[in-house]
């Protein structure tokens, strides 16, 4: 028996090897990595350029403590990443994952407020549902009760507003009035809490696992920026899942041309080759914090040369092979395939997302948007059926605000049209199987 105790329903097959969008277990069974792990393996598995950059770095050094040495890979990666950030966001703090990136953003924002003589600002508003990480700081701003509830007494309670759910509320996602409607909930919350107590607002530009690729309505992201500016609230973009090209732009927020004050980045940045993340902040904020004695924060493995060499090679591969553009094109092609599945299966009530951050949602009734009964466990059953059929997808059922069982279909950005056909064919077969298992009459 395994000595590990990760939370899985049953023991998982032993991974043997992985190449491109495919993975094999030790029995020889092949899987399509249709969710890039947890939306991580953006450039696919076994990329030769990344592996050789890692090997070259390993031969030189694998660790240089950041307080003892500068390292070339971390300097080069910081240069590269800031060539992709919006103007003014020019300083980088490396970490080893998404939770660490968010945690760093929270502490950095707080220290910045102190330099501005605003010690009363400490509340970070976030949305429900949302996911920002597993550590207690990041968890306090996460809107997902099944993960937060056991730890509530250990955390500072933080204010939350609903994520925009235009498709459930029957509002037009392309109408700027819809964006304003949801964004104004931020203003109401700021006023309710007391504007001078609010440190920041954090948002996933496109929802990840928590909402299933929920795209904000027209005008929402811009209006949020205006409200933050009006009340002196810092705007944090959690681009842990959306950053790195998956949505068809390097940063998800580029779709709305909005510049935040702080960005959290991970997942597709290390792309599954190494644990890597970054907190990127406005230059003037960094200078203020450094001027006041420095950022009181850090992780031992931060900026390690091996991780940074891999990260640099990942970014170079994305650029050299036009993978962000491919994510946009293949995203449209996959979206069309999911739409045609929706036409065939009334159970699919919504298809959404951008680029290759795509999801579909199952509902008992498309008209009323009524979810399937929770006891059907459709979110885990369809994933299991697809897994049996050799396709890995990622699902969640979110209660409270955004209902239903949603499934993220997010293959690596190297995916081809022919491979999308394979994915669609397995999804089709898996949906048929799910339908045959559901009680008759449960779908309107």
Interaction between residue 81 and ligand PMP (CB under 6 A) = no
For residue 53, give both structure tokens: 């950059």
Contacts of 338 by beta carbon, 8 Å cutoff, 6+ apart: 348, 351, 358, 360, 409, 424, 427
CA distances from 214 to 129, 192, 270, 390 (A): 10, 26, 24, 26
Would you say 147 or 188 has its CB closer to ligand PMP?
A: 147
Q: How far is the CB of 284 from ligand PMP (least distance, A)?
A: 25
Q: Are 207 and 130 in contact (CB under 8 A)?
A: yes
Interaction between residue 266 and ligand PMP (CB under 6 A) = yes
Would you say 73 or 97 has its CB closer to ligand PMP?
A: 97
Q: How far is the CB of 273 from ligand PMP (least distance, A)?
A: 14
CA distances from 376 to 362, 382, 429 (A): 11, 10, 19
Q: How far is the CB of 138 from ligand PMP (least distance, A)?
A: 7
Would you say 64 or 208 has its CB closer to ligand PMP?
A: 208
Interaction between residue 98 and ligand PMP (CB under 6 A) = yes
Binding-residue pattern over the window 220 to 259 for ligand PMP, x denoting contact by CB under 6 A: ------------------x-xx------------------
Would you say 358 or 364 has its CB closer to ligand PMP?
A: 358
Interaction between residue 410 and ligand PMP (CB under 6 A) = no
Q: Are 394 and 408 in contact (CB under 8 A)?
A: yes
Would you say 242 or 403 has its CB closer to ligand PMP?
A: 242
For residue 19, give both structure tokens: 């190449």
Would you say 212 or 217 has its CB closer to ligand PMP?
A: 212
Cα dihedral 17, 19, 21, 26, rounded to 10, equals -20
How far apart CA 80 and CA 32 sit, in angstroms, is: 31
Would you say 240 or 392 has its CB closer to ligand PMP?
A: 240
Residue with the CB atom nearest ligand PMP in the bound state: 98
Interaction between residue 208 and ligand PMP (CB under 6 A) = yes
Interaction between residue 133 and ligand PMP (CB under 6 A) = yes
- Burial code (b: 16+ CB inside 10 Å, e: under 16) for 248-269 equals bbbbbbbbbebbbbbbbbbbbb
Would you say 304 or 419 has its CB closer to ligand PMP?
A: 304
* Contact pick of 53, 77, 102, 279 for ligand PMP (by CB under 6 A): 102
How far apart CA 223 and CA 340 sit, in angstroms, is: 34
Q: How far is the CB of 130 from ligand PMP (least distance, A)?
A: 8
Q: Which of 266, 272, 229 is nearest to 251 (CA)?
A: 266
Q: Which of 82, 98, 138, 87 is nearest to 260 (CA)?
A: 87
Of the ranges 83-91, 128-136, 250-258, 338-346, which one interacts with ligand PMP (CB under 6 A)? 128-136
Of the ranges 42-50, 95-103, 107-115, 344-352, which one interacts with ligand PMP (CB under 6 A)? 95-103
* Contact pick of 99, 247, 304, 419 for ligand PMP (by CB under 6 A): 99
Would you say 74 or 242 has its CB closer to ligand PMP?
A: 242
Would you say 21 or 278 has its CB closer to ligand PMP?
A: 278
Contacts of 150 by beta carbon, 8 Å cutoff, 6+ apart: none
Q: How far is the CB of 345 from ligand PMP (least distance, A)?
A: 27
Q: Which of 39, 382, 391, 413 is nearest to 209 (CA)?
A: 39
Q: How far apart are the first and last CA of the chain?
A: 44
* Contact pick of 209, 271, 279, 372 for ligand PMP (by CB under 6 A): 209
Mapping DSSP onto H, E and C, the string for 219-234 reads CHHHHHHHHHHHHCCE
Q: How far is the CB of 175 from ligand PMP (least distance, A)?
A: 26
Q: How far is the CB of 243 from ligand PMP (least distance, A)?
A: 9
Of the ranges 91-99, 104-112, 179-187, 404-412, which one interacts with ligand PMP (CB under 6 A)? 91-99
Q: How far is the CB of 357 from ligand PMP (least distance, A)?
A: 10
Which of the residues 369 through 408 are near ligand PMP (CB under 6 A)? none
* Contact pick of 38, 76, 114, 288 for ligand PMP (by CB under 6 A): 38
Interaction between residue 42 and ligand PMP (CB under 6 A) = no
Instruction: Provide DSSP, 143-181.
Output: --HHHHGGGGGGS----EEEPP-HHHHT--TT-HHHHHH
Chain Cα centroid distance, residue 154:
25
Residue 416 backbone zone (phi > 0: left; psi -120 to 50: alpha; other: beta): beta
How far apart CA 54 and CA 312 sit, in angstroms, is: 10
* Contacts to ligand PMP by CB under 6 A: 38, 97-99, 102, 131-134, 204, 208-209, 238, 240-241, 266
């Amino acid at each position: 028996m395994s000595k590990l105790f990760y939370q899985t329903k049953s023991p998982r097959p032993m991974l043997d090897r992985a190449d491109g969008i495919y993975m094999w277990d030790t029995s020889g069974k092949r899987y399509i990595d249709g969710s890039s792990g947890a939306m991580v393996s953006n450039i696919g598995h076994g990329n030769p350029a990344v592996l050789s950059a890692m090997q070259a770095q390993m031969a030189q050094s694998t660790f240089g403590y950041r307080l003892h040495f500068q390292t070339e890979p971390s300097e080069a990666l910081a240069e590269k990443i800031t060539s992709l950030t919006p103007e003014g966001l020019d300083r980088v703090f490396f970490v080893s994952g998404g939770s660490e990136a968010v945690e760093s953003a929270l502490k950095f924002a707080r220290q910045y407020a102190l330099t501005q003589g605003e010690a009363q600002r400490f509340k970070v508003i976030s949305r429900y549902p949302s996911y920002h990480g597993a550590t207690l700081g990041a968890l306090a701003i996460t809107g997902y009760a099944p993960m937060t509830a056991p730890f509530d007494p250990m955390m500072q309670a933080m204010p939350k507003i609903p994520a925009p759910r235009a498709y459930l509320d029957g509002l037009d996602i392309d109408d700027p009035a819809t964006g304003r409607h949801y964004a104004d909930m931020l203003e109401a919350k700021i006023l309710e809490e007391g504007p001078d107590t609010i440190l920041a607002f954090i948002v996933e530009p496109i929802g990840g696992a928590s909402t299933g690729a929920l795209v904000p309505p027209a005008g929402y992201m811009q209006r949020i920026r205006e409200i933050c500016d009006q009340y002196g609230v810092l705007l944090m973009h959690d681009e842990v899942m959306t950053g790195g090209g998956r949505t068809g732009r390097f940063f998800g927020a580029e779709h709305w041309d909005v510049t935040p004050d702080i960005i959290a980045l991970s997942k597709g940045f290390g792309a599954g080759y190494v644990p890597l993340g970054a907190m990127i902040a406005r230059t003037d904020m960094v200078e203020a914090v450094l001027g006041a004695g420095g950022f009181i924060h850090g992780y031992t493995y931060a900026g390690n040369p091996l991780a940074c060499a891999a990260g640099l090679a990942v970014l170079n591969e994305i650029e050299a092979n036009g993978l962000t553009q491919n994510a946009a094109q293949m995203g449209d092609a996959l979206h069309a395939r999911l739409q045609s599945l929706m036409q065939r299966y009334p159970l699919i009530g919504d298809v959404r997302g951008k680029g290759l951050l795509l999801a579909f949602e199952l509902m008992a009734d498309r008209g009323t948007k009524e979810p399937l009964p929770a006891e059907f466990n459709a979110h885990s059953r369809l994933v299991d059926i697809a897994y049996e059929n050799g396709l890995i997808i990622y699902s969640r059922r979110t209660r409270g605000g955004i209902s239903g069982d949603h499934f993220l279909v997010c293959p690596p950005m190297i995916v081809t049209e022919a491979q999308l056909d394979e994915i669609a064919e397995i999804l089709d077969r898996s949906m048929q199987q799910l339908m045959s298992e559901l009680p008759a009459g449960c779908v309107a």
